[in-house]
Amino acid sequence: MRIERFCDIDRRTLLMRGTNTPQVSAAVAPIVSDVAARGDAALLDYTERFDGVRPEPLEVPKAEWEAALSRIDPALREAMETAAKNIRAYHARQVRQGFKMGGDGVYMGQIITPIERVGLYIPGGTAAYPSTVFMNAIPAKLAGCSEIVMVSPPAKDGSIPDAILAAALLAGVTRVFRCGGAQAVAALAYGTGSVPKVDKIVGPGNAYVAEAKRQVFGRVAIDMIAGPSEILVLADETAKPEWVAADLLSQAEHDRMATAVLVTVSHDLALAVSDEVERQLCTLPREAIARASIEANGRIIVADTLEEALEAANELAPEHLELCTADPAELLPKVKNAGSVFMGNCCPESLGDYLAGPNHTLPTSGTARFSSALGVDDFIKRIQYTHYTQEALAAVAPKIAAFARAEGLEAHARAALIREAVQ
């Protein structure tokens, strides 16, 4: 991995970029419009074209979910049940209640209501992610969503991996469909003969999935435009090179476009991690993917102080931030931009991916500067309400009229005043 000093870096290069390109946009647009126009026929055509199978029926029967759960390895099932329990406990703390306030003829408040029907996109292809089913479905279930519709790309035999179907059953998913890519996003946004139209689409995917979500936004809500996975390890001399290298590679193996960065105050650690990354790369089953990621997007930045290292981390606004230092709790209040923070040398990012409880659907490409991890709030709506008696309105009507007339809106003013003038 290349090693640079923070003071020598062009600060503009610290900004992680998104994945949309004109070519991706141009490829996705006709798929979205075709699925919107032709429904199931188009969805099946694109699934056959891109996944090599024409799955009929598109929907996976519940009996297949139950069979999948019975087939998975007992150790995996135990791990999944533990993860579901932890994720549910963490996100239950996020459930909010409405409120009511007022007095003297006035009351107002807010009610919390779930989004009725949500769509979950669960990636397939080079890897299957049952953990993503939990991270997306469990918050939706806690929010009270009545329908949780999942789509995922099928294998060439039309099947969905057992672990994905088992996770859907354990997490409370309502329906599962065998489709992926931009066409599946379009199906959720517009509805087809088989796939119901949803109100919001959540979940990660490749550049085409992300672009499809961008293009259907407005017709439906979306969680975020997710880019390739990222990790930034901020480390001092207490960090172990072997551990840091393993954590960097845990993200690099996701995707050739993934980003893995070490920021450290120790030049010796920087050299040791660079050597260790190369040693571990050679032993990875997904070496080709991880190596491409490290060569294109891996970097080691040497800072003079921990304050300077934090400055670099906050500018990068990484999806995952590991604080591998002697006292991570001291640094945490100074973290301004990060999707999820992992504290200490014994808290690898993979702990958060699978088991700890906090969500792993996180802002990427620097968007942690203004957005947050997926949570229960992503599956609710806040409806506000107001009530005034006639006497209470009369007391404030002149003030309403003053505001309205200052903005040149006489009808607004009269709407407030007429209730006193005309009984």
Query: Domains in the chain, please, with CATH?
Result: 22-222 (3.40.50.1980), 228-364 (3.40.50.1980), 389-421 (no CATH)
At residue 125, the pLDDT reads 63
The question of whether 81 is a catalytic residue gets the answer no
Instruction: Give pTM, 2 decimals.
Output: 0.92
The question of whether 320 is a catalytic residue gets the answer yes
**pLDDT higher than threshold 60 for residue 318:** yes
At residue 226, the pLDDT reads 85
- Least confident segment among 310-314, 397-401, 419-423: 419-423
At residue 113, the pLDDT reads 97
Question: Which one from 211, 230, 311, 320 is the annotated catalytic residue?
Answer: 320
Q: What is the pLDDT of residues 23-58, one digit of tens each?
A: 999 999 999 999 999 999 999 999 999 999 999 899
Average pLDDT, the chain: 94
Q: What percent of the chain has pLDDT over 70?
A: 96
pLDDT band at 8 (very low <50, low <70, confident <90, very high): confident
* Segment 56-72 mean pLDDT: 96
At residue 127, the pLDDT reads 64
- Comparing 226 with 332, the larger pLDDT belongs to 332
* Segment 190-199 mean pLDDT: 97
pLDDT band at 289 (very low <50, low <70, confident <90, very high): very high
At residue 20, the pLDDT reads 60
Task: Show the 3-state SS of the chain.
Answer: CEEEEHHHCCHHHHCCCCCCCHHHHHHHHHHHHHHHHHCHHHHHHHHHHHHCCCCCCCECCHHHHHHHHHHCCHHHHHHHHHHHHHHHHHHHCCCCCCEEEECCCEEEEEEEEECCEEEEECCCCCCCCHHHHHHHHHHHHHHCCCEEEEEECCCCCCCCCHHHHHHHHHHCCCEEEECCHHHHHHHHHHCCCCCCCCCEEECCCCHHHHHHHHHHECCEEECCCCCCCEEEEEECCCCCHHHHHHHHHHHHCCCCCCEEEEEECCHHHHHHHHHHHHHHHCCCCCHHHHHHHHHHHCEEEECCCHHHHHHHHHHHCCCEEEEECCCHHHHHHHCCCCCEEEECCCCCHHHHHHCCCCCCCCCCCCHHHCCCCCCHHHHEEEEEEEEECHHHHHHHHHHHHHHHHHCCCHHHHHHHHHHHHCC
Q: What is the pLDDT of residues 149-168, one digit of tens each?
A: 999 999 999 999 999 999 99
**pLDDT higher than threshold 60 for residue 18:** no
Question: Which one from 211, 319, 322, 349 is the annotated catalytic residue?
Answer: 319
At residue 19, the pLDDT reads 53
Q: What is the pLDDT of residues 83-122, one digit of tens each?
A: 999 999 999 999 999 999 999 999 999 999 999 999 999 9
* Segment 315-331 mean pLDDT: 96
At residue 14, the pLDDT reads 63
pLDDT band at 250 (very low <50, low <70, confident <90, very high): very high
